[in-house]
């Protein structure tokens, strides 16, 4: 698949000029969920604009990504690059509202009802929805797509299997209705169902081809247009989108620009109007500073990044089969130095749960704990003692896998800091596609890993640390951890749930499958003519259906 538009070093191309036309408001959605996770009632996909700020139709939005995607199959890929590119092509039953990240609104479902005991959800689908190949959406497509995620057939990878683990079954009750039965109450079920990778595929195409790695056929506001690997990914307006008068844009071009300075240069000249390099942590700290200083007319806005950096240790591979070695690594890493060196201070020290959230250990308390406290003298001495006790009095040598342009700097920092206790790290830097393939195979003792979460709810971490979570990058299988995750997820009382979550977080800090270095503060940059862009969480609703260009 080759695009007719070549991307050269000067980024010379012509933007289409949009024409003026008023648009209608999106239909509202009925919401009636149980549980403790906040959900907005009656939320519409976007507010009705004021007359003075009426949207204009037309134009191509040029934006950026700093790496390519391994395939188009968003249900099977673990990373967010596929999600960043193809999410405008797909729809789910429900979605997260970009301008209010904890709000859940309808997508393919126009309304739903929840049983009194919270274990049954009845969704009513919109009528007349069609896939991009003009075939009608059916309840069988929805049922099949959900089953492919929570109960995948042999040979299908499902990183979100743990996300939907509470589902007992999905039933098409009539031609427009779907009933989802749960094994148990899960307070985070609707937000989990709203994550961006839980999309609906056309059953007939998946069954015919076995996967969607080379195909994009959804019901979203934009349709696939062209793709040139390593260069550009393009989508065009879906003229038959189920929300009337949307989208406003004629299309979107995602330019794949690995070099940060080249990306910044393209943004500076306006050839790229929206700069959002990684769709995880957003702009680099240096890019934020440059834009604010040298391009004051540009807009830099914050968003809930939920982006973190981990040093994962595979507990099934030596030397990290020994918890003492893992604890030594955690003690030796200087998290405060990592914030300054890696993020120029634009990040927060935190534990496994999202820093600053209601669930996480407060920073003041965390900074008194081993591995977080300052100065580092006592931690380093204890780390050396643990290594000697584990049989490595003279230190050890091991390997760390890093992702080019993402975590190679993290690997370098880890190498320098762990050398202080006698650990010699061999750094193996791989491009994104190779990196993402390798981490799932658990063949590298240590991995410098960027992690993007979809919500602050503790259930979001189930897929990383639970035995059957679907995305265990450490190989952890701990009965106590599994039991704590299950207990907190099913707890109906918020105070009781928080107690269990605290116990769980302390347990993860104790056995240390992952060293959490920091939590990033998300920023994106765009020019003022880009209107109505609310940067949602990286994995959730960023479909661009409401975005328009003022000129």
| pLDDT score at 536 | 67
**d(C-alpha 116, C-alpha 89), whole Å:** 35
DSSP assignment, residue 255? E
Per the DSSP assignment, residues forming a β-bridge with 348 are 519
Backbone angles phi, psi at 13, to 5 degrees: -155, 165
CATH 3.90.25.10 corresponds to the domain 307-520? no
DSSP assignment, residue 279? S
CATH for 19-242+525-549, options being 3.40.50.2000, 2.40.30.20, 3.30.420.40, 3.90.76.10: 3.90.76.10
Find out whether 524 and 288 touch, Cβ atoms under 8 Å: no
Number of helical H runs and strand E runs in the chain: 15, 23
Which residues of the chain are in CATH 3.10.105.10 domains? Answer: 307-520
Which of 247, 242, 295 is CA-nearest to residue 272? 295
**d(C-alpha 177, C-alpha 122), whole Å:** 7
| pLDDT score at 197 | 86
| pLDDT score at 23 | 30
| pLDDT score at 40 | 36
Q: What contacts 299, CB < 8 A, 6 or more positions away?
A: 525, 526, 527, 528, 530
Which of 535, 551, 550 is CA-nearest to residue 87? 535
Q: What contacts 124, CB < 8 A, 6 or more positions away?
A: 109, 110, 111, 112, 176, 177
DSSP alpha helix (H) spans, 124-281: 139-150, 189-193, 203-209, 260-268
Q: What contacts 538, CB < 8 A, 6 or more positions away?
A: 80, 83, 84, 279, 280, 305, 306, 307, 452, 454
| pLDDT score at 422 | 98
Which residues of the chain are in CATH 3.90.76.10 domains? Answer: 19-242+525-549
Q: What contacts 398, CB < 8 A, 6 or more positions away?
A: 319, 320, 423, 424, 425, 426, 445, 446
| pLDDT score at 301 | 84
Secondary structure class of 449 (helix, strand, coil): strand
DSSP alpha helix (H) spans, 350-401: 363-366, 377-389
**d(C-alpha 526, C-alpha 266), whole Å:** 12
Which of 477, 539, 505, 476 is CA-nearest to residue 312? 476
Distance of CA 539 to the CA centre of its chain: 3
| pLDDT score at 11 | 36
Residue 116 buriedness (CB in 10 A; 0-12 / 13-18 / 19+): exposed
pTM of the model: 0.69
Residue 310 buriedness (CB in 10 A; 0-12 / 13-18 / 19+): buried
What is the DSSP code string of 43-112? --SSPPPPGGG--EE--EEEEEESS--S-S-TTT--SSHHHHHHGGG---SEEEETTEEEEEEESSEEEE
**d(C-alpha 145, C-alpha 75), whole Å:** 9
Flag residues of the chain having pLDDT under 70: 1-52, 79-81, 99, 101-102, 277-281, 470, 536-541
| pLDDT score at 245 | 94
**d(C-alpha 392, C-alpha 424), whole Å:** 12
Per the DSSP assignment, residues forming a β-bridge with 428 are 401
In Å, how far are 293, 346, 348 from 289, measured between CA atoms?
A: 6, 11, 18
Secondary structure class of 226 (helix, strand, coil): strand
**d(C-alpha 218, C-alpha 95), whole Å:** 15
């Amino acid at each position: 698949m080759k695009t007719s538009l070549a991307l050269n070093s000067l980024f010379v191309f012509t933007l289409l000029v949009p024409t003026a036309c008023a648009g209608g408001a999106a239909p509202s959605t009925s919401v009636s969920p149980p549980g403790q996770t906040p959900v907005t009632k009656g939320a519409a996909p976007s507010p009705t604009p004021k007359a003075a700020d009426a949207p204009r139709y037309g134009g191509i939005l040029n934006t950026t990504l700093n790496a390519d995607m391994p395939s188009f199959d968003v249900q099977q890929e673990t990373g967010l690059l596929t999600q960043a590119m193809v999410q405008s092509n797909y729809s789910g039953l429900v979605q997260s509202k970009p301008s209010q990240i904890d709000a859940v609104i309808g997508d393919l479902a126009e309304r739903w009802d929840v049983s009194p005991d919270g274990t049954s959800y009845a969704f009513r689908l919109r009528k007349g929805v069609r896939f991009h190949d003009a075939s009608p959406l059916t309840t069988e497509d929805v049922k099949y797509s959900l089953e492919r995620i929570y109960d995948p057939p042999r040979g299908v990878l499902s990183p979100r299997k743990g996300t939907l683990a509470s589902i007992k079954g999905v039933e098409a009750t009539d031609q427009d209705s779907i009933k989802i039965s749960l094994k148990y109450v899960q307070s985070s079920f609707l937000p989990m169902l709203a994550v961006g990778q839980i999309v609906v595929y056309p059953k007939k195409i998946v069954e015919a081809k076995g996967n969607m790695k080379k195909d994009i056929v959804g019901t979203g506001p934009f349709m696939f247009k062209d793709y040139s690997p390593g260069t550009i990914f393009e989508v065009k307006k879906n003229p038959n989108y189920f929300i009337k008068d949307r989208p406003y844009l004629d299309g979107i071009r995602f330019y794949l620009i690995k070099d940060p300075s080249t990306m910044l240069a393209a943004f500076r000249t306006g050839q790229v109007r929206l700069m959002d390099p990684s769709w995880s942590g957003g702009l680099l700290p240096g890019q934020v500073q440059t834009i604010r200083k040298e391009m004051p007319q540009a807009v830099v806005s914050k968003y809930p990044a939920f982006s973190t950096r981990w040093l994962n240790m595979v507990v099934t591979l030596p030397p990290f089969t020994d918890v003492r070695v893992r604890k030594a690594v955690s003690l030796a890493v200087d998290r405060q130095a990592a914030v300054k060196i890696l993020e120029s201070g634009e990040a927060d020290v935190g534990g496994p749960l999202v820093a600053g959230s209601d669930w996480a250990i407060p920073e003041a308390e965390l900074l008194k704990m081993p591995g977080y406290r300052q100065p580092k003298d006592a931690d380093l001495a204890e780390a050396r003692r643990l290594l000697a006790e584990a049989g490595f009095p003279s230190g050890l040598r091991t390997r760390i896998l890093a992702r080019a342009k993402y975590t190679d700097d993290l690997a370098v920092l880890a190498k320098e800091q762990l050398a202080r206790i006698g650990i010699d790290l061999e750094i193996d830097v791989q491009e994104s596609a190779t990196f993402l393939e390798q981490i799932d195979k658990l063949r590298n003792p240590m991995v410098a890993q960027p992690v993007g979460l979809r919500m602050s709810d503790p259930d979001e971490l189930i897929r990383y640390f639970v035995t059957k979570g679907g995305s265990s990058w450490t190989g952890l299988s701990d009965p106590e951890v599994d039991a704590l995750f299950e207990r907190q997820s099913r707890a109906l009382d918020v105070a009781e749930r928080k107690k269990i979550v605290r116990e769980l977080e302390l347990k993860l800090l104790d056995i240390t499958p992952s060293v959490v270095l920091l939590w990033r503060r998300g920023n994106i940059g765009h020019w003022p003519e880009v209107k109505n862009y609310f940067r949602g969480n990286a994995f959730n609703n960023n479909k661009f259906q409401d975005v328009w260009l003022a000129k």
